[in-house]
Amino acid sequence: MSYSEHFRRKVIAKLEEGYSIRAVATQFEIDKNTILSWKKRIEIKRTRPRKPFKIDNDALRADVEKYPDDYQYERATRFSCSASSIGGALRRLKITVKKRPYATHRQKNHSDQPLPKP
């Protein structure tokens, strides 16, 4: 959480009175680098810059429907991004794809066939 603009102005006013950055930092129990950044810009940043998502939401949903058992790295090659980006996009869209264990695949394949007669 950021400090209020009033507090920031109070700290900068101490500097203008002639106190050193080290003394003001000790008095207010804040870091020296914080005071230096406040000298450059005292206003509070309202929003942080965030780059747009590289992965299209609709395209990812369609990919999950078309290839439900694919791994994230396989999706990443189709979208030209990293597997962690795919994981973040899936989390953002609240898509959870549960994979069946290999043993379940084998059981299902064998259960379709009739059992051999003794």
- Using CA atoms, how far residue 99 sits from 50, 68, 75, 105, in Å, is 32, 9, 15, 10
Per residue in 22-81, pLDDT (tens digit) is 999 999 999 999 999 999 988 887 776 666 678 888 999 999 999 988 899 999 999 999
In the predicted structure, residue 6 carries a pLDDT above the cut 60:
yes
Cα–Cα distance, 71 to 117 (Å, whole number): 39
Q: Note the pTM of the prediction, 2 decimals.
A: 0.44
What are the structural domain ranges in the chain? Answer: 5-40, 57-98
In the predicted structure, residue 8 carries a pLDDT above the cut 70:
yes
